[in-house]
Amino acid sequence: MVHWTYHLSKKVLASALMAVLASAVYIALPLNQPASAENTSKQPKVCFSPEGHCSAYILDEIAGAQRSIRVQAYSFTSHDIADALIAASKRGVDVAVIVDKSQTSERYSVLADLNDARLPVFIDYCCAIAHNKVIIIDEHRLLTGSYNFTKAAESKNAENLLILDDASLAKAYIENWNTHRAGAEKLAMR
């Protein structure tokens, strides 16, 4: 019981920290700036949808990856994001994806595309739902928020995306990714 309480307290603290950080970023940054050559610094960025062009941020970050990309996705139906991950893999970036079990029966899921491109895809059966929306790039860039990797997140839903360049925070997310990966099953669609 003590062990569970400790982890629950850490999760509550982490959630509170993310809320404070997101608020600070919201206050400090201009909203929904489209990605451009002038806006490619590694400063925190925030984006809100619908119509905030958050996918442009995600695609730019994936295109800039040099070594590794780790993805945790609850809903993943965006062909643009899947294609960017596939392109990154083809240029030598180590890409791996964990998705919620619901994606195995989701009509518009991109799992077949990722599988056909031979990207390692893992199904997370850990919990009622694996509700993560995380991309970790080169062990220091972190993309997270409520933004699902879907067309609806871009054009219909009220979503948020926070992009940070913080190796220590990214390390915590990598450790969580590795924990979920250890308990996940490799997708077998071949």
Q: What is the mean pLDDT of residues 59-73?
A: 97
| CATH code for the structural domain at 31-186 | 3.30.870.10
Q: What is the band of 19 on the pLDDT scale with cuts at 50, 70, 90?
A: very low
Q: 79 near 165, Cβ under 8 Å?
A: no
Q: Hey, what are 12's tokens? A: 């509550």
**What pTM does this model have?**
0.77
Q: What is the band of 25 on the pLDDT scale with cuts at 50, 70, 90?
A: very low
Least confident of 44-53, 96-105, 118-127: 96-105
CB atoms within 10 A of CB 131: 14
Q: Where are the domains of the chain?
A: 31-186
Q: What is the mean pLDDT of residues 166-186?
A: 94
Residue numbers annotated as active site? 131, 133, 138
∠ Cα 94 96 99 (to 5°): 165
Q: What is the band of 134 on the pLDDT scale with cuts at 50, 70, 90?
A: very high
